[in-house]
Amino acid sequence: MPVAKAENLAERHCAITGIGQSDVGRRLGRDPLELTLDACYAAIADAGLEPSDIDGLSTYPGPMAQPKGFTGASATSVIDAMRLDVDWYDSGIETSGQLGSVMKACMAVAAGLCAHVVCFRSVWEGSAQGQGGRASLGPGGGGGGGRMYVGDFQQWTLPFGSAGAPVWIALYAQAHMHRYGVTTEQLAQIALNGRRNAARNDKAIYRDPMSLDDYLASRMITTPLRLFDCDVPCDGATAVVVSRREMAADLAQPPVLVEAMGAAMHDRPSWDQPHDLTRTVGADAGTQMWGRTALTPADVGVAEIYDGFSYLTLLWLEALQLCPPGESGAFIEGGTRIALDGPLPLNTAGGQLSAGRLHGYGFLHEACLQLRGQGAERQVNPWPEVAVVATGGGPTCGCLLLTSAR
Amino acid sequence: MTDDAAFAVLPELTDANRHFWQGGHDGRLVLQRCGGCGLWLHPPVPICPQDRSKNLVHEAVSGRGTVASFTVNHHQWLPGFDPPYVVALVELVEQKELRLTTNVVNCPVDAVEIGQPVRVVFRHIPDPNGDIWLPLFEPDEDAGGES
């Protein structure tokens, strides 16, 4: 796809002018709509706007009964609870990962439909799953010789005990490790780096130090993924306000400019039928994103990259061209390169592995804080001018390149 | 991995998938194939994406393939699925990237490798809604060369 002139790129008309986040906890036991509204009102106030200024709303994924706690609030429930009058709104899971909702907001703003869009992601998986944790996620549940019948994609996976994302992603991970020789000790650096950074984030779920031995001692879930390679379900909501860029200068915060977005998917939208098991469609999104900017991977000062499962971060490092294909293991070896004081600080708030499964928007929130220089004790030094945010995995991936307005 | 009585999750039989889930009745692994261009199609589709033919047929494959990737699962996700067990992506010999999610059975879980030759073996699950023959795979010692 030929790239349009810069002034015709939707994202160049947009800025993130406000960010907000609710309380975050393992199991808060609070109304998920309340958490969602806390985040949305906080983002609007952070921008220096009033709810009456908001004329658009976007969220991922919208209403879903399953999995439990996956959706804290729908678009219409928030619009109604805030008594918003919107000129555009949208939700949906069939988009380029969690950031697809932000990209759609940018497109709506650029199309002239609206000027200030509140975008949010809200989860309450911690409370919804209860004390049974993820083990209670199985759609069977009944046991005792009961039968359950599944259709669509599930029919090709569930009858074989391929019961969800950890198993599907382990299949990618194993193929990638086999081809490129990534080691367990290299993979561990994603979890160890996240935990180190989480110590500087008072909202993080897990803040106690983790050693390599702790990591290696955590129980195997499905090879090569251990418990500490899987993010921690939590309750919490995160929101941002996407505004028309020319209106950003008058608002309360230094604007974060949307430089480029990546939404492409040049493969089958399937977890088990991609052409190449050692990559994700994030590589297509990454190529598209870099094709829409004069900036290059060398310009990135901080990377906030999805770690719903640790191996996804490795695949994203390659997809975003932050390292050559197949070299993500060597790239993170020892952890110094991705540390807070390293050349490419990664997941500076702890990522989902340690700070909680805020499902993509936590990375976006942290990237904005870093670009605004508001990272406090975890602020990257020197203050980064360019951040990359990438969320999702497998066939559902999207990425954004953000810059500070300095 | 499980015994039939405790089995918890089965495919919902439809006209579009019956050939696949019941082909094992005759010991055959049956997939959809384009009657026009010969492309194997999985999961089944109503129109061939390569030549747009609606002449789609059901045909048996050899049942031989290789392990494209696998994971040894140690977590009990579902009742009846007692760990450890191997979830694998098996690429069938008939066509590049023609893959099934399946289990590798009849060998220790730590004996499975990427590239290993495997062959289909069916697990029959009697069910009032229609019996199911799950296509599982086992090491194929007869396969020459690789491994």
Q: How far apart are CA A316 and CA A172, in angstroms?
A: 12
Average pLDDT over every residue of A228-237: 98
In the structure encoding, which two tokens stand for residue B111, read together?
């004996």
> Quick one: pLDDT at residue A142?
44
Best CA proximity match to A274, nearest among A286, A285, A265:
A265
Best CA proximity match to A349, nearest among A185, A201, A219:
A201
State the pLDDT confidence band at A5, using cuts at 50, 70 and 90: confident
> Quick one: pLDDT at residue A132?
64
Cite the DSSP H helix spans in chain B: 18-22
pLDDT over 60 at A115, yes or no = yes
pLDDT over 90 at A389, yes or no = yes
Average pLDDT over every residue of A396-406: 94
> Parallel, antiparallel, or unpaired: how do β-strands A302-305 and A386-393 relate?
parallel
Tens digits of residue pLDDT in A361-385: 999 999 999 999 999 999 999 999 9
How far does the CA of residue B19 sit from the closest CA of chain A (Å)?
14
CA angle A175, A178, A183 (to 5 degrees): 115
Residues 356-395 (A) with a CB less than 8 A from some CB of B:
none
DSSP string covering A141-198: ---TT--EEE-GGGGGTGGGT--SHHHHHHHHHHHHHHHH---HHHHHHHHHHHHHHH
In the structure encoding, which two tokens stand for residue B91, read together?
């690429």
In the structure encoding, which two tokens stand for residue A100, read together?
């697809």
State the pLDDT confidence band at A133, using cuts at 50, 70 and 90: low
- Cβ within 8 Å, pair B70-A171: yes
pLDDT over 80 at A139, yes or no = no
> Quick one: pLDDT at residue B4?
52
pLDDT over 80 at A140, yes or no = no
For A161, which of B12, B14, B87 is closest by C-beta distance? B87
Task: State chain A's mean pLDDT as an integer.
Answer: 95
**Which of A160-164, A198-202, B18-22, B31-35 is predicted with the least confidence, judged by mean pLDDT?**
A160-164
In the structure encoding, which two tokens stand for residue B19, read together?
């050939």
pLDDT over 80 at A3, yes or no = no
State the pLDDT confidence band at A319, using cuts at 50, 70 and 90: very high
Average pLDDT over every residue of A23-45: 98
> Quick one: pLDDT at residue B8?
73
Q: How far apart are CA B112 and CA B9, in angstroms?
A: 24
State the pLDDT confidence band at B147, using cuts at 50, 70 and 90: very low
Tens digits of residue pLDDT in B9-25: 999 999 999 999 999 99
Average pLDDT over every residue of A208-217: 98
Residue of chain B whose alpha carbon sits nearest to that of A178: B114
**CATH architecture assignment, domain A6-128+232-404:** 3-Layer(aba) Sandwich (3.40)
> Quick one: pLDDT at residue A162?
96
Residue of chain A whose alpha carbon sits nearest to that of B76: A135
**Which of A171-180, A275-284, A382-391, B3-12 is predicted with the least confidence, judged by mean pLDDT?**
B3-12
Name chain B contacts of A157, Cβ cutoff 8 Å.
101
CA angle A9, A14, A20 (to 5 degrees): 145
Q: Could you give the percent of chain A with pLDDT greater than 90? A: 91
Q: Do residues B73 and A230 make contact, with C-beta atoms less than 8 angstroms apart?
A: no
Q: Do residues A320 and A305 make contact, with C-beta atoms less than 8 angstroms apart?
A: yes
> Quick one: pLDDT at residue A145?
58
Residue of chain B whose alpha carbon sits nearest to that of A148: B9
> Quick one: pLDDT at residue A374?
98
> Quick one: pLDDT at residue A141?
43
CB atoms within 10 A of CB A213: 8
Task: State chain B's mean pLDDT as an integer.
Answer: 93
Residue of chain A whose alpha carbon sits nearest to that of B97: A275
> Quick one: pLDDT at residue A147?
86
- Cβ within 8 Å, pair B43-A146: no
pLDDT over 70 at A83, yes or no = yes
Tens digits of residue pLDDT in B76-117: 998 889 999 999 999 999 999 999 999 999 999 999 999 999
> Quick one: pLDDT at residue A1?
61
For A171, which of B17, B43, B89 is closest by C-beta distance? B89
Residues 1-20 (B) with a CB less than 8 A from some CB of A:
1, 5-12, 14, 17
Three-state secondary-structure class, residue A121: strand
- Cβ within 8 Å, pair B77-A164: yes
CB burial string A288-308: b at 16+ within 10 A, e below: bbbebbebebeebbbbbbbbb
Average pLDDT over every residue of A190-214: 98
Average pLDDT over every residue of A344-370: 98
Tens digits of residue pLDDT in A177-186: 999 999 999 9
CB burial string B98-117: b at 16+ within 10 A, e below: bbbbbbbbeeebeebebebb
Tens digits of residue pLDDT in A12-25: 999 999 999 999 99
